[in-house]
Amino acid sequence: MSKITNVKAKVYNWKGPIQKIHENFCTNAADLVNQDNISNDRWSTYKFLSWLVVEVETSDGHIGIGNAALSPKPCKSVVDNYLKPAIIGESIWDYEHIWQKMYRQTLAWGRKGVGMTAISAVDIAIWDALGKTVKQPVFKLLGGKTKSKLPCYASKLYSQPLDTLAKEAKDYLDQGFKAMKLRLGWGPNDGAEGMRKNIELIRTVRSVVGEDIDLMADVYMGWTFEYAKRMMRLIDNENLRWLEEPVIADDIDGYADLKASCRTPISGGEHEYNLFGFRQLLEKKAIDVVQFDTNRVGGITQAHKICALAEAFQIPVIPHAGQVHNFHISMSSINAPIVEYFPFWPVEIGNELFWYIFDGEPQAKDGYIELDETKPGLGIELSDKYLSDFDIEI
């Protein structure tokens, strides 16, 4: 029986070059308060320039790798001080028991946010170890393939001058992507002029890719409910596959109102946690697309359950972010029609760091991702290619 003998949590802090972002790069929830007296960088509190890596060592010599991008330093403390002592000696095959133990022993303060993110990283590592133990990819342990390969959409197209935005969209079109997502850069502080500029972004990309390409837009919780209602009157004419996170994650009734009153599908869940959080979203008919992130929502153990729950409501699951832990979930679910794909890119806000920390992340080809059935576990390992660009806290 494969038992957990050690749990190591490391924080990878990027110290390499950082590409400067454009003005109005993308809205976010802090725009209403993040003025000059706080920070000139409107994205300063939403960058992921550090990353948590968790290694679960087993009695039969395997090392499972998990990760999380949100608040890595506090998450490391949670792993070291709470989760590790709780699970040493447990069999990795008792993953449900392990998950419930981590969850219930930290419930008073950890059921969402930092606590659940730390649990996610450990749980992902356990599933990676499970796959390595039986020499099978994780998706095989979750039910196997539901599709031969994963359709994926290019996810970048941050707000920028219209000519360079058009060029970037053309690049993705030439690479074979049949879907792509852009970010809208203006919110309530920008008034009617900002609303017009948001529509210009959408129409610029549409003019390049045509009507046969799915186009989505992300707001990253940057609008108020009132502003979102005004914007949706315009966006409803633009044939988007969905609009993502139009209001803050806690405004579930606002999501439900927008979903009921607008023609454009509404997506969300990137900042929601665990099975109970998604039960509430689905029962309130708040979203048209479920977008949990496996390394936030509670790991693979919870993500697999949420996929089944969403399937019963006939709401598709399209996880937030690329990253191979999400790909394995999507491959094993009939209810996951497409995946997000962050292209390799110079480091800007930190979503790119997955490419710099790990080897084995699948690369898109002609708009699809393929998972290698010969690679056990998640199919990734820690890379040493960019080690000199990181400070690593052990």
Q: Which of 62, 271, 304, 320 is catalytic?
A: 320
Q: Is the dihedral of CA 225, 294, 41, 196 positive or negative?
A: negative
In degrees rounded to 5, what are phi and psi of residue 151? -60, 140
**Tally of domains in the chain:** 2
Residue 159 domain-assigned?
Answer: yes
User: Which of 101, 134, 167 finishes a domain?
Assistant: 134
**Same domain? 218 vs 349:** yes
Alpha helices in 314-379 (DSSP H): 324-331, 353-357
User: Which of 103, 134, 165 finishes a domain?
Assistant: 134
**Same domain? 292 vs 207:** yes
**Same domain? 59 vs 35:** yes
pLDDT in the model for residue 44? 81
Strand ranges inside 338-377, DSSP E: 339-341, 358-359, 368-369
**Of residues 147, 9, 152, the one with CA closest to residue 78:** 9
Residue 252 domain-assigned?
Answer: yes
pLDDT in the model for residue 1? 80
**Same domain? 213 vs 359:** yes
**Of residues 66, 124, 57, the one with CA closest to residue 90:** 57
Residue 301 domain-assigned?
Answer: yes
Residue 14 domain-assigned?
Answer: yes
Q: The domain that contains 120 carries what CATH number?
A: 3.30.390.10
Q: The domain that contains 253 carries what CATH number?
A: 3.20.20.120
Domain boundaries, position 316: 140-383
User: Which of 111, 134, 157 finishes a domain?
Assistant: 134
pLDDT in the model for residue 36? 60
pLDDT in the model for residue 284? 98
pLDDT in the model for residue 257? 98
Residue 110 domain-assigned?
Answer: yes
pLDDT in the model for residue 332? 98
**Same domain? 107 vs 146:** no
320 is catalytic: yes
Residue 247 domain-assigned?
Answer: yes
Three-state SS for 21? coil
**Same domain? 170 vs 229:** yes
Residue 389 domain-assigned?
Answer: no
Written as one letter, the residue type at 125 is A
**Same domain? 128 vs 152:** no
**Same domain? 146 vs 102:** no
What pLDDT tens digit does each residue of the chain (394 aa) get?
A: 899 999 999 999 999 999 999 889 999 999 998 666 555 677 888 888 999 999 999 999 999 999 999 999 999 999 999 999 999 999 999 999 999 999 999 999 999 999 999 999 999 999 999 999 999 999 999 999 999 999 999 999 999 999 999 999 999 999 999 999 999 999 999 999 999 999 999 999 999 999 999 999 999 999 999 999 999 999 999 999 999 999 999 999 999 999 999 999 999 999 999 999 999 999 999 999 999 999 999 999 999 999 999 999 999 999 999 899 999 999 999 999 999 999 999 999 999 999 999 999 999 999 999 999 999 999 999 999 999 999 999 9
Report how far residue 64's alpha carbon sits from residue 133's, in angstroms, rounded to the nearest whole number: 10
CA distances from 365 to 62, 146, 151, 165 (A): 31, 19, 10, 22
